Amino acid sequence: MKQTVFTGAGVAIVTPFTPDLKVNFDKLGEILEDQIANKTDAIVICGTTGEGATLSNEEHIETVRYTVEVVNHRIPVIAGTGSNDTEYAVQLSNECEKVGVDALLSVTPYYNKTSQRGLVQHYNYIADRVSAPIILYNVPSRTGVNIKPETYFEISRHPRIVATKEANGDVAALAQTRALCGDALDVYSGNDDEITSFMSLGAKGVISVLSNVAPRIAHDIAAKYLEGDYIGSRDLQLEYLDLCKDLFLDVNPIAVKEAMNLMGMEVGECRLPLYKMTDEAREKLKATLARHGLI
């Protein structure tokens, strides 16, 4: 049986910026401590929500290094190191391994894309050249690439490929993947509105955007299911469904950063090409946050 990186709710954490759009390390430290205090089970740094795509190589590595130092082994730290350039994905993964991450998150190749056979080669090439466990990241709405269940089965044969963050929204495909891969591949929901449904098919939890604004809630949805309180997990999932949805009123992480700013967390704006949300969407998000007592 392969190593399980974590169970429960890991936060796909934002990267806070100063007004001049530099990484705000002091604020990041505050957020990390708050996440740990509110029972978040893992930190995913420099992923999609962390705007890894617009961080320079130096910023990326320094942000990961800082996170590892602050967390200090209290919970796992997983670094986003995926790329559509396989060689660069290896290079970035190796750099993040050097600063002490517990695992790597590797998104499918975007823009240039690849075939299913290419996915197998891409991931095996990376896994042969790293030592940390790898969590795949399947998000076809952003990448234009979808990992099929049969491809998951092939990829899961590699000993260092241990899990996937699945965000294709296809529960039927998840069932097939689970049937094919079994314990060879852990699954995390990549969508906050599917935590309970994914866990009913054996997922270990979620890599969550919701956790940025409601870490205890995301933790409890997963924890209740793991403890056998399936009804409690379902009810909490349904109660916060509107917030899960409204955190995607605009391209992620625009809305979640806006929500955090409305809550007084001062995480700054997103870097271009991501741009602030409309006043109408902002008011809708604000009303949802107020309904749940978050502002």
Catalytic residues: 137, 165
Residue 72 exposed, middle or buried by CB count within 10 Å (0-12, 13-18, 19+) = exposed
Question: What are the residues whose beta carbons fall under 8 Å from the beta carbon of 212, sequence distance 6 or more?
Answer: 11, 12, 13, 14, 31, 49, 256, 259, 260
- What pairs with residue 105 in β-bridges? 80, 135
Q: Cα–Cα distances in Å, from 86 out to 110, 116, 248, 271?
A: 11, 15, 29, 25
Report d(CA 199, CA 201) in Å as an integer: 5
Report d(CA 243, CA 237) in Å as an integer: 10
Could you tell me the two tokens for 253? 């992480």
Report d(CA 168, CA 231) in Å as an integer: 25
Q: Cα–Cα distances in Å, from 182 out to 81, 153, 176, 179, 224?
A: 25, 9, 10, 6, 22
State the DSSP string of 248-295: TSSSTTHHHHHHHHHTT-----PPTTS-PPPHHHHHHHHHHHHHTT--
State the DSSP string of 150-196: HHHHHHTTSTTEEEEEE-S--HHHHHHHHHHHGGGSEEEESSGGGHH
